[in-house]
Structure 1
């Protein structure tokens, strides 16, 4: 869109609607000579006379009348573009891009998205499931505005607001000998079990917390396979390929073939946090932080003994 042409058409529209150069100039907030110059430039550019001048004012020529409907549409479109650009600069009407780790999809994502939708009904919300490491990079690159992830501290320029505490649970094949026992499961009972884990690079803090818990229980986890996601962990567990230590919130998924056991302790995991890029803050991120304060209680435990 040629905004210089659009501006000149807007000047023509003002004169045609006011029927007078002086009133049109006052409406546009400019003096009359520049307005006359803009109309003349537009007539030269289009190669037609648009206005007939008289002592009483001005009125569109036949050619000008033919152009009026298009001029109005272009002026409306330009106004909407300028308004949207102002909102985008302020972060008001921009689509909100949100990354979310799998284990936060049910406890944290729904209330946050509902709150954002209620506060910003005109803005679309795009949710992308991704692991913590990818979400951090997406925040740094400006590909997402917010992320629900598992991180233990800020990673400049990414800042965190913890949303709650979490605990580890054991995910076992449904037919496993430990699956149906009563009471919390001692972590040491898994010392000899084949362990399915996420690569450390996906969420280093979460992985380190899991390994540290095993060491505190007196053993090093017998890792037999690394899998690419929390959902893959549960699928492999259901297939009988091993056991896994997962966020207790994953039990809400109720996947067939998987039994969940609370662990003695409880054993705390790295909790979910709301993350944002401090160098790219906008109205949407500030709103999300306000919502988080209202929606989530710090220290909340998803599943305990």
Structure 2
């Protein structure tokens, strides 16, 4: 049998203060509750630990023996509680984020700024990886929350939409598609060597699903900047987030090509059902979903 620590607290307070009423006041409970805890402990162990009288209460010889043992135990409990609270505070400051390229580059900075405003002691860690790697990090427990840019959502993770993005097919001003009046067809896109993200990225998954056939690849790259540079150099049409090329389009460095594909994609936050989120992670979720 394990002693009831709440009853032990009452016993020690009675020993120090000489009154069940004053012991109850110190512990912020009612006197009947304090008396009930002592009676329960005495009944459980078959001992009389406290002598009660109109002049006050004092411990019996058995009660003093128990109190002597209990003092060191309660010191250890107090130390353990302090350690647990410190661990929880550290955990609640932390959040390990895995985000795919577009979200990390164009949305995450504002979200992290808002997070800093609400939780100045937050300690976020951001890893920029493709959507497939985001999912793997969540499954392995090396990320707390993840953000991806694909319609292919895992069923074993919790998900919530945080926005929508659209891909753009862009070419250099000198490309033959730059001045055409009609949309480029899926057959033309499938036949043209393209500049694309690597398999596993949200951009590539969205484009492959929309095209519904294997594209011809002129270049695969893991960064948006590389895709944009390749398109500007005339290597081929690039498929990138429209957010990423807005400035290049405005300056005339690239031209967006109209297509007959649906290149919209959801932006989604994910986390594991099985792991408790820190307070910082929960605040970040609310910020990303527009609920704070």
Deviates more, 1:254-263 or 1:227-236: 254-263
Counterparts of 2:139 and 2:267 in 1: how far apart (Å)? Answer: 19
Which position in structure 1 is the counterpart of 2:229? 235
CA deviation map 1:235-283 (0-9, x unaligned): 3333432221122122146499951415245733322111111211424
CA deviation map 1:137-172 (0-9, x unaligned): 111111111111123254243222122222221132
Gaps of 5+ in 1: 1-20, 42-75, 297-305
Following superposition, the deviation at residue 111 of structure 1 comes to: 3.2
Which position in structure 2 is the counterpart of 1:276? 271
Which position in structure 2 is the counterpart of 1:226? 220
Gaps of 5+ in 2: 1-14, 18-22, 28-33, 35-62
Counterparts of 1:250 and 1:150 in 2: how far apart (Å)? Answer: 14
Count of aligned positions? 240
Aligned pairs (5 A) from 1:20-169:
22=16, 33=65, 36=68, 81-87=83-89, 93-169=92-168
Counterparts of 1:210 and 1:274 in 2: how far apart (Å)? Answer: 20
The alignment partner of 1:201 has SS state of coil
Following superposition, the deviation at residue 124 of structure 1 comes to: 0.9
Aligned pairs (5 A) from 1:175-254:
175-179=174-178, 181=179, 186-187=184-185, 190=189, 192-203=191-202, 206-214=203-211, 221-252=215-246, 254=248
Counterparts of 1:254 and 1:32 in 2: how far apart (Å)? Answer: 81
Counterparts of 1:193 and 1:295 in 2: how far apart (Å)? Answer: 43
Tell me, yes or no, if the aligned pair for 1:112 and 1:295 is still in contact at 8 Å. no
The alignment partner of 2:290 has SS state of helix
TM-score by length of 2: 0.63
Counterparts of 2:72 and 2:172 in 1: how far apart (Å)? Answer: 81
CA deviation map 1:30-82 (0-9, x unaligned): x86566558899xxxxxxxxxxxxxxxxxxxxxxxxxxxxxxxxxx9987633
Structure 2 CA distance for partners of 1:295 and 1:240, relative to 1, 3 Å: farther
User: Over aligned residues, Cα RMSD in angstroms?
Assistant: 4.4
Counterparts of 2:152 and 2:214 in 1: how far apart (Å)? Answer: 25
